[in-house]
Structure 1
């Protein structure tokens, strides 16, 4: 992920500055429920509700941590001398642990016909026989997983929705590309349902199905999917901005080089010489080219500002995903 922070400057500007009195701001932080630890710019400041004083103007990060809820993160921008109220509605931590040891998984052939395993086989096979999907991606298999989860729960079997990478279990969350169901056939005994394939996967067949992040309900899972969708859309938009920047930068460099050649030509043939019709005409062309280059520099700065803003938003979404699956 690229981040452009440079600012292109063509013309030398003379700015005047004076001394002003610094006026600090104040931020009041509350949460529902209260009692969340407050970290202001990564520094602990107490528990909600609390007041953070002597805050300089600018953008600051706020993180709330509660043992029974998901981590809440955001940024707040304050002006000089301003009082700001930040109120957070903390989400219940509904991400579940997934069984990770062989003892917690069902081995192939461990259960006889007529058991819950047999019933799960019927469920996933029947679903596969009566449903199709047009393409393989996280969102398609997620829809199928939610359907199967509902069927399994309706059958009276405890189930969770799992998400991860069945080929590379240690991959980062940004590389997770699959969803499936984990069903509890006995206390702490789980079996994986491959919903897009229509079969069960046992612990001794592919342990990666048992190394995932799990959600207790489709509602919780959809919150994750929405964040992933927002993240992917933001990535696509940022990439289009990078393309815009590259194109505009190439145009700027070309026009700027041309302007530099014009200046060199002026210094060689007209500087220090009597004013003539030719020199006046060339000087007018130089001024027009300077305006052209200055305009391109402004467009580059605008694209740069947008990229930095979108990258900050991308980081916030990524932090929300990490908080949700942590």
Structure 2
């Protein structure tokens, strides 16, 4: 057996051990203060302390109640029992934010950890149940967004909330401005002179809303790209 394979198996066993020990000391309560987000960040930190690179992942587990995430089936004991997976990093999954992938992100309802047990090969850890999940068991664990550390994950949550607020603010202001411009464009010169002050004020407000949105949009897209 090669040295690389020996190290991979060692890392897998360590991931299983950390998952089991962590769950024995922490209770997962859905919608409670101590939820999957907190647990994933804890396990990420424990893996880091052991020298294993990992990422915090978030995605959509719509049918979680009837699956392994809920029933806590025991972890498999060696890499022979399942396949390690590759993950879609943010730069390939979300090149930029828009309405369509915003809706996808809104559907995300779970967080877990992906551990790099060998270069380019990842193993999912279900932190709320205390077990590992191979890619051929549930491919959803190898999809979604991933973040290199808890700080970036928390920054994403904050930026994304801010992004949605500013996007709605900008869209509302733009709709209002567009409604003002329609009668202005069809008005006579004298009527336009009377309306111009209001149009200019609305235009300045729209510009400020757009600038604020684009700043947050740029920050969020950079974070999504590099994780």
TM-score where L is the length of structure 1: 0.38
1:131 aligns with 2:28: yes
Structure 1 segments unaligned to the other structure (5+ residues) = 1-109, 251-290
Please, which of 159, 171, 182 is the counterpart of residue 54 of structure 2?
159
How big is the shift at 1:239?
4.1
The change in CA–CA distance for 1:213 and 1:294 in structure 2 (over 3 A counts) is: same
Structure 1 residues 93-147: Cα deviation after superposition (integer angstroms, max 9, x where no partner)? xxxxxxxxxxxxxxxxx979x92243144156x1795133428xxxx75444323
Give the whole-Å Cα distance in 1 for the aligned partners of 2:172 and 2:129: 35
Contact 1:158 1:184 in 2 (8 A): yes
Whichever of the two has the greater Rg, that structure is 1
Contact 2:18 2:46 in 1 (8 A): no
Give the whole-Å Cα distance in 1 for the aligned partners of 2:20 and 2:96: 31
Structure 1 or 2: more strand by fraction: 1
Equivalent residue number for residue 302 of structure 1: 201
Please give the residue correspondences for 1:104-123 in structure 2 after superposition, counting only pairs within 5 Å: 115-123=13-21
1:146 aligns with 2:41: yes
1:236 aligns with 2:168: yes
The change in CA–CA distance for 1:202 and 1:318 in structure 2 (over 3 A counts) is: same
TM-score where L is the length of structure 2: 0.50
How big is the shift at 1:171?
5.8
How big is the shift at 1:170?
4.6
Give the whole-Å Cα distance in 2 for the aligned partners of 1:199 and 1:160: 16
Give the whole-Å Cα distance in 1 for the aligned partners of 2:31 and 2:198: 42
- Name the SS for the 2:137 alignment partner: coil
Structure 1 or 2: more helix by fraction: 2
Contact 1:128 1:198 in 2 (8 A): no
Contact 1:183 1:193 in 2 (8 A): yes
| Count of matched residue positions in the alignment of Structure 1 and Structure 2 | 169
- Mean alpha-carbon deviation: is it higher for 193-202 or for 240-249? 240-249
Equivalent residue number for residue 201 of structure 1: 133
